[in-house]
Structure 1
Amino acid sequence: MNELLIIGAGGFARETAQAVRDAGDLKLLGHLDDDTSLHGTEVDGVPVLGGCDLVHDRSAAQVVICVGNPRDYASRARLVRRLGLAGDRYATVVHPTAAVSSTSHVGPGSVLLAHCALTAAVRVGAHVAVMPHVVLTHDDVVGDFATLASGARLGGGARLERGAYVGAGALVREGTTVGAWSLVGMGSTVLGDVPPGEIWAGNPARRLRAAAAPVLDELGTRTTGGPAT
């Protein structure tokens, strides 16, 4: 059984740890987190072993990076770049209740949580976070480092470009694109293309403002660690 280290010890990391336990195909060694106050503690019974750079001391273990939130959804990309691990170090975690069709593909470092569905010919890139009850329908393309919060739905042929964030319960119309490092607010309905690096929300979704500086910095950056989509 392959060993696994989870980078991060927050909510997403905890949910991923539960998915690993439920799937039973990886041996979970523990969390790594740069918050020193967590070192030597346990999170839901899983030890926090130390800082993120300890991943280099456990070279036989696979890794999944589980950080990020709507205030800084570029943090996964920065950590992948900082750690500089080979692509084959990254595991793909799929909860046993997730429905992934035989014609769909999920990249390294990505996490699919409980009851999400990938229907037909869906392509999910590397280091993507797919939260519970997300539905990706035929021919959707989800770029590296994207995040789909709980209950998000994409119509057929929709595209999330690199680093895009779709909030909880949001709907994206078929054939539309959410641009790189843009964020769609929770409960929004996207009826047309969202340009890169912007925050949109509402029903129908409209532009609110540009994304924050740490996110916009990623627009010109190509992070290694998995294939681009």
Structure 2
Amino acid sequence: MTPLLIVGAGGFARETAQLVHAINDVSPTWELLGHLDDDPAKHGTAVDGVPVLAGSGEAVRRENAQVVVCTGSPRDYASRARIVARLALPPERYATLVHPSVSLSRSSSIGPGSVVLAQAVLTAAVTVGAHVSVMPHVTLTHDDVVADFATLAAGARLAGGVHVARGAYVGSGALVREALTIGSYALVGMGSVVTRDIPPREVWAGVPARFVRPSQVNDGAPT
């Protein structure tokens, strides 16, 4: 089996560890070594029976292990981008993890470092980039494109031809009309109905979704 390290020890990381167990129950694939977290107070502990070994820099030192970065929340949904930039690992070091219950069409693709949790659906010619988080029960329909570092929270549903740009966050239960663009590092509030394009780095919410405020997210890029 291939050694695997999960960067992060919060909710998303714990869900990913359970995804790994689900994969191994079907076909033994991954040797889950443990979590890496930059909070020293967590080192030497365990979450859901999986040890927290060290800080994220340990991923660089353990050259034989595959890695997946599982951090981020609506409060800081750019953390994966910052961590991946800091680790500077080649793409081949990153695992792609897809729950066995996912409906993944033959014409769809998922990039390195991405995690697709249970009961998600990718119908036809869906492109998911690198380090994307697809939470349970997300529906991606024909020709959707989800760029690197985006997050699709539980139950989000995208009609055909939607483009979710780099680092954007689509909240739980949000609906997005066909052929729209969610701008880079924009945030769509939970339960929103998106009926027009959302510019980069803006927070929109409501039914229909409207501008709320600029996003303060920090992706680590120079300003």
TM class, shorter-length: over 0.9
Stretches of 4+ aligned residues off by more than 3 angstroms: none
Unaligned runs of 5+ in 1: 222-229
CA 48–119 in structure 1, closer or farther in 2 if over 3 Å, else same: same
Unaligned runs of 5+ in 2: none
- The alignment status of 1:210 with 2:214, answered yes or no, reads yes
Cα distance in 1 between the residues matched to 2:16 and 2:173 = 20
Q: Which residue of the partner structure matches residue 20 of structure 1?
A: 20
Aligned-residue Cα RMSD (Å) equals 1.1
Q: Which residue of the partner structure matches residue 85 of structure 2?
A: 81
Shift of 1:27: 1.2
Letter in 1 for 2:108: S
Deviations 1:136-174 (A, max 9, x none): 000000000000000000000011000010000000001
- The alignment status of 1:70 with 2:77, answered yes or no, reads no
Shift of 1:213: 4.8
TM-score between both structures, scaled by the size of structure 1: 0.94
Q: Which residue of the partner structure matches residue 152 of structure 1?
A: 156
Q: Secondary structure at the match of 2:84?
A: helix
Deviations 1:65-114 (A, max 9, x none): 00011011111000000001011000000011011100000000000000
TM-score between both structures, scaled by the size of structure 2: 0.96
Letter in 2 for 1:16: T
Letter in 1 for 2:17: A
Letter in 1 for 2:3: E
- The alignment status of 1:98 with 2:105, answered yes or no, reads no
Shift of 1:56: 1.7
Cα distance in 1 between the residues matched to 2:42 and 2:138 = 30
Q: Secondary structure at the match of 1:64?
A: strand
What is the aligned-residue identity percentage? 63
CA contact (8 A) 2:96 2:115 kept: yes
Cα distance in 2 between the residues matched to 1:114 and 1:105 = 17
CA contact (8 A) 2:76 2:217 kept: no
